[in-house]
Amino acid sequence: MVVSTKLGSPANFLDLGCGTGWAVCYAATLLEGKGRLVGIDISKGMIEKAKRHALGFPTVEFLEANAENLPCKHDYFDTVICSNSFHHYLHPEQALKEVTRVLKLHGKIYILDVNADDFLIQWIDKRARL
């Protein structure tokens, strides 16, 4: 399934749990280099992969950080996405507070997390928390 949204140009765009950075790079292509695009992931390995993936995208930045404590300005982003990582957050309410803090008034957040109810994902999450 593909989910898309219309991005105004320029736009400040944030991807929480960005993984390899594919969504950030795709958004950068749609915005034709206008705006600031940021990917955040708690995994150093994923951030390293994302940075390699984003070579040639000067408006793209990747940061190793926790979604519960975003190293971003208040009222900055027009769009925040979070795909298939929200179920991993130990304190989702804190992550949402942070998103609210960094999102502009009338900004949009899109959360796609089809895995949260999957038995295998729940089992993995329980083991990871131990």
Task: Identify whether 46 is part of a domain.
Answer: yes
CATH number of the domain where residue 51 is located = 3.40.50.150
Count of domains for the chain:
1
Task: Identify whether 1 is part of a domain.
Answer: no
Task: Identify whether 91 is part of a domain.
Answer: yes
Q: Containing domain of residue 119, as a range?
A: 11-129
**Side chain identity, residue 119:** F
Task: Identify whether 64 is part of a domain.
Answer: yes
Please report, in tens digits, the pLDDT of each residue of the chain (130 residues total): 334 456 777 789 999 999 999 999 999 998 887 899 999 999 999 999 999 999 999 999 999 999 999 999 999 999 999 988 887 899 999 999 999 999 999 999 998 876 656 677 677 767 767 6
- pLDDT at position 53: 94
Q: Is the whole model's pTM more than 0.85, yes or no?
A: no
Task: Identify whether 2 is part of a domain.
Answer: no
Q: How many whole angstroms separate alpha carbon 73 and alpha carbon 88?
A: 24
Task: Identify whether 78 is part of a domain.
Answer: yes
Q: Which residues does 93 contact at the CB level (< 8 Å), separation at least 6?
A: none
